[in-house]
Structure 1
Amino acid sequence: MTGYQPDVIVVGSVNADLRIEVDMLPRPGETIHGGSPAWLSGGKGANQAIALARLGRAVALVGAVGSDQVSADLARQLAAEGVDTGRLATVDGPAGQAVVFVDPSGENSIVVSPGANAAVRPELVRRAHAELAGAKVVLAQLEIPVDAVLAAASATRGTFVLNPAPALPLPPELLRRVDVLVPNRGELAQLCTAALPVTVDEVAALARTLPCAAVVVTLGGDGALVVEGDTVRHLTPPAVTAVDTTGAGDCFCGALADALADGRPLVDAAAFAVRAAALSVTAAGAQASMPTREQVLALTAPTDRHAEDRMGVPK
């Protein structure tokens, strides 16, 4: 990556996903039958980087893969999608892996084994210090060690976006460095050690307790809620038929980072991300379902009309 400065840098995980379709998600102690397994490229970091690349954004990924053939295939897939892998380290051992169960409604349940992602430590992140400092947006998640995420936040001079997934207790030092936090409803509740918020008002009240500059809470089929200063804006998604929700949150984060890199106000950026995420659930798989910019702009959405007007999005 020497001499090249991407607009957005993603600091995060790379996984091989084993996807199995099931009639219903398993409950504790329950054994169920599933369909034929399918191996797919995944990991929140990789998914978000590919979401950005599909939108035409110059993006690099800071992370790690293993020394096995699966890892080589994952790195090759990222490069084929247009993601700069110059800061993707290779470490001994297997790649990260995830088992993804998907029910007929498109809802999913996921178990992740970190593999090489556990090797993404602060010293590895610091090797990309110059690129992190020069990026318009740095985007991270929590499938890598928290101290590596803090190192990325510390190096960022542009906008630092954190998707706190999977939810973990986070040090106040990290939260204070976050410009835009993007949890879902459950992750927000865990971060705030509170009951799961049900209403939009409850979501907004919890978001205001966090020491971040702004919070964008993804609400699944209900869209997203932007909480920034005195602004609270609920953005509803277009009507789509969900096939697989795997990767929808990653698509949202990638599209949000893309719009923020263009200098869009946060509400406008979130409205764009709501559209992109809605499109992503209409196809199976995480990375395979990431839409292009043309597809997102062509989608008519009943989100926030004022935001649409400022975005110049066709109605």
Structure 2
Amino acid sequence: MQAKVVIVGSLNMDLVTRAPRLPRGGETLAGHSFVTVPGGKGANQAVAAARLGASVAMIGCVGDDAYGDQLRAALVAEGIDCTAVTAVPGESSGVALIVVDDNSQNAIVIVAGGNGHVSAEVVDRFDTLLSQAEVIICQLEIPMATVGHVLKRGRELGKIVILNPAPASEPLPADWYALIDYLIPNESEASLLTGLPVDSVATADSAATALLASGASKVIITLGPQGSLLATSSRSQHFAAPKVQALDTTAAGDTFVGGFAAALAEGKSESEAIQFGQIAAALSVTRAGAQPSIPTFDEVQGFKP
């Protein structure tokens, strides 16, 4: 049987333009191109987990608009169970406005839309999905109260609970840490959560130590081209990233989280799951877009540095 991963989170339509550089305040730039691409951290992670070998279900909300229909259809096309993806009457779907510069860095503005309606009551209607899960994943593009509710329910059910604290804008509630099996921030998120600079493996180790002291069980800080750092109460281990030529870093972190979760749910070790997720993320940055950039299981298995 395939592994079971349930994602509770966001679905956005990404409105992506490429430009020579990111605009300054009040500045108008001429862009190179524009596309609309299904995205949202929750949906991206669902697609990643599905393409990378897991059986996946998504819990979330879209608007009753054309974007909502397209977002749901994109997940269904990946074989993802969308019975718990519901349309909110009179609401727009979530959107992300993304600018990608010629150095493959991006700036993103999100509008919650339907994602703001993912409540504890919505989640509870689909508690059977959580009960059937092996791994439950949350991010921070839905209401914080709902995320806390899902983390608590995941712990009650004895599931592997992953929180990707993105986008991070404030410290996490102190009582969340004990509910999370794997806390997976990137450099900027780890810095915001700890108040420490994170720009190297050494500084990431210091931030991870602080997060462990806050009550986190296990921390994985993703470091882009520098790889990732796993920290637990008993060890700290750096994993070097595969070398690739980056085109677009959009959804790289989501690809890592989905790949890591899929591998864990299949019974892989932490180290194996991290390496699998890193290869998937490395492949994703060689392609443009969010969900279109996410590789398949066979592509990851066939990757040669």
Same fold (TM over 0.5): yes
- The two structures have a TM-score, normalised by structure 1, of 0.91
Q: State the shift of 1:269 in Å.
A: 1.0
Distance 1:240 1:91, change over 3 A: same
2:267 match: 263
Q: 1:143 aligns with which of 121, 138, 141?
A: 141
Q: State the shift of 1:170 in Å.
A: 1.6
**Matches for 1:273-292 after TM superposition, within 5 Å:** 273-292=277-296
Runs of at least 5 residues in structure 2 that lack an aligned partner in the other structure: none
1:96 match: 94
1:87 aligned counterpart, secondary structure: strand
1:85 aligned counterpart, secondary structure: strand
**Matches for 1:161-310 after TM superposition, within 5 Å:** 161-168=162-169, 169-192=171-194, 194-210=195-211, 211-301=215-305
1:25 aligned counterpart, secondary structure: coil
2:20 match: 23
Inter-partner Cα distance in structure 2 for 1:198 and 1:246: 19
Deviations 1:37-57 (A, max 9, x none): 211101001101011111131
1:307 match: none
Task: Report if aligned partners of 1:126, 1:151 keep a CA contact under 8 Å in 2.
Answer: no
Task: Report if aligned partners of 2:201, 2:226 keep a CA contact under 8 Å in 1.
Answer: no
1:128 match: 126
Deviations 1:131-187 (A, max 9, x none): 213311001100001111111112212100000000033211222201001100100
Task: Report if aligned partners of 2:200, 2:226 keep a CA contact under 8 Å in 1.
Answer: no
Deviations 1:45-91 (A, max 9, x none): 11010111111310000000110111111111110111110111110
1:64 match: 61
2:117 match: 119
Task: Report if aligned partners of 1:134, 1:158 keep a CA contact under 8 Å in 2.
Answer: no
Q: 1:154 aligns with which of 152, 155, 165?
A: 152
Task: Report if aligned partners of 1:6, 1:60 keep a CA contact under 8 Å in 2.
Answer: no
Of 81-90 and 165-174, the range deviating more from structure 2: 165-174
**TM superposition outliers: structure 1 runs of 4+ over 3 Å:** none
Inter-partner Cα distance in structure 1 for 2:290 and 2:165: 18
Task: Report if aligned partners of 1:6, 1:131 keep a CA contact under 8 Å in 2.
Answer: no
Q: State the shift of 1:6 in Å.
A: 6.7
Query: Aligned-pair RMSD on alpha carbons?
Result: 1.5
Of 146-155 and 272-281, the range deviating more from structure 2: 146-155
Q: Percent identity?
A: 41
1:46 match: 43
Deviations 1:106-139 (A, max 9, x none): 1111110000000001111111223213311001
Task: Report if aligned partners of 2:56, 2:81 keep a CA contact under 8 Å in 1.
Answer: yes
Inter-partner Cα distance in structure 1 for 2:200 and 2:252: 21
2:275 aligned counterpart, secondary structure: helix
Q: State the shift of 1:228 in Å.
A: 1.7
Inter-partner Cα distance in structure 2 for 1:223 and 1:282: 16
- The two structures have a TM-score, normalised by structure 2, of 0.94
Inter-partner Cα distance in structure 2 for 1:175 and 1:216: 14
> What letter is aligned with 1:245?
T
Distance 1:232 1:202, change over 3 A: same
Inter-partner Cα distance in structure 1 for 2:226 and 2:304: 16
Deviations 1:231-279 (A, max 9, x none): 2111112211111110100000000100110222222211111111000
Task: Report if aligned partners of 1:208, 1:227 keep a CA contact under 8 Å in 2.
Answer: yes
Task: Report if aligned partners of 1:61, 1:84 keep a CA contact under 8 Å in 2.
Answer: yes
Inter-partner Cα distance in structure 2 for 1:28 and 1:234: 38
Runs of at least 5 residues in structure 1 that lack an aligned partner in the other structure: 302-315
Task: Report if aligned partners of 1:64, 1:88 keep a CA contact under 8 Å in 2.
Answer: yes
Inter-partner Cα distance in structure 1 for 2:174 and 2:109: 27
Inter-partner Cα distance in structure 2 for 1:199 and 1:282: 23
